[in-house]
Structure 1
């Protein structure tokens, strides 16, 4: 148990950390209603004009659609490959198992610019084979680090649940697929859903890797925001888009936490 002074210090540090994290986000939402184009503070007035402009912005809408498509595809690839890798590493013993575990996790630890340069160099080298930068290369680039999110979630769940129920299913005559569908899958589906949601969220706001893999024809929402941020006529609209994304980003994280928490509770 912490002493009273220690609890006060810990609470103070936590409060400072929350202020540092969330006050800037609150200012983004506040500035989306700021009547001043220069975002003077305190706001001289409040308006919904920028929200109307953002709603009618074709560029923002197209970039949003691109980000959603890329995020869904990258999350789908991550779901399949990350789940398979997690089952292989956690349920089987083979030579090089720890090396595979290291190689799967490595992309999320590398700086985004290193991953982006490596992918861009690879796609350039594959140019004679008809590979060009576009939506497909963006999806592949995002999938490289999204796989780790699903992999870590599924592997952690498999490690906690053990193998006793699966072994019991096999002893009762269940085939491999029957055991997976009726025993294993219900226990890991929360981790799968949480991993997919977090992978989508990570892909949706990725900008560094996207910059190196998108090419001139593909523009995701983070790239659109960055390109229009310093344009005086677009800055208020960018602020509205950022405010909406800030609010929407809460949804997948909250759902993934609820899914993970409910799954853990159901086993207790």
Structure 2
């Protein structure tokens, strides 16, 4: 009889892969509470919260956090609007050029970040737009739209067409059908897509490097800190903050969408 349990070797390989992936993150968390201010002092000499107060009392850290949150929120809002509109326009009807439009929507997330960054920088220079918060938001929105688009169009494909037809038969116009039937069904997909887009924008560095100009988001601040070994404890605290801010939305999005197949069906 075939056993559903994985073999010991397979389980050891899986745990080994998890340790390999997450051990560096655990080291960062450990160093953030280390009493020593040396760059490398293992094992830690003690436990302290000193570096948290030091980090959050520095104006450069607070400004970087504020800018990253501002950019991530704006990029997520743009992505939610454009991604939802694009998905509702493309999921039902077939027309000439539909696949090309879908490819253009998905392409920014598939391209290497350096290519996207160079392309955006060239476009902004051609249009005479100076790098700043606006260019960072536009750059982040280009790939955040893909996240929302993929989540929403997947949910739309699992939404029963009979609900929409029933709404139209009862006299509802297109806006009423969208507001009372389609939008409530998209709630968790929009929330999950927005959370993933926020996490992706918050820790983005490659595209930001080309579009930021003199602005410094939190990832760029961390990159600049690599040349300052005396600030390693503060850098570890900020790095831990970035990991938490990006990890929690991803986990939330996972729990919101993991039951989608059993609740809404698989669209067959």
TM-score > 0.5, shorter chain as reference: yes
2:107: which partner in 1? 106
2:209: which partner in 1? 211
TM-score in terms of structure 1 length: 0.92
Structure 1 residues 98, 61: closer, same or farther in 2, change over 3 A?
Answer: same
Structure 1 residues 5, 188: closer, same or farther in 2, change over 3 A?
Answer: closer
| 1:154 paired to 2:155 | no
Deviations 1:203-226 (A, max 9, x none): 00000000000001x110000011
1:252: which partner in 2? 249
The alignment of Structure 1 onto Structure 2 pairs a total of residues equal to 264
Deviations 1:88-134 (A, max 9, x none): 1102221111111111001100000010011111111111xxx1110
2:141: which partner in 1? 143
Compare 243-252 and 80-89 and name the one that shifted more: 243-252
- 1:1-268 matches, cutoff 5 A: 3=3, 7-36=7-36, 37-127=38-128, 131-216=129-214, 218-261=215-258, 266-267=263-264
* Counterpart Cα distance in 2 of 1:257 and 1:109: 21
Deviations 1:151-176 (A, max 9, x none): 00001111112422101111122111
* Counterpart Cα distance in 2 of 1:18 and 1:60: 31
* Counterpart Cα distance in 1 of 2:184 and 2:4: 44
Root-mean-square deviation over aligned CA pairs: 1.9
Provide the secondary structure at the position in 2 that maps to 1:234: helix
Runs of 5+ consecutive residues of structure 1 not aligned to the other structure: none
Aligned 8 A contact 1:35 1:46 in 2? yes
TM-score in terms of structure 2 length: 0.92
Provide the secondary structure at the position in 1 that maps to 2:95: coil
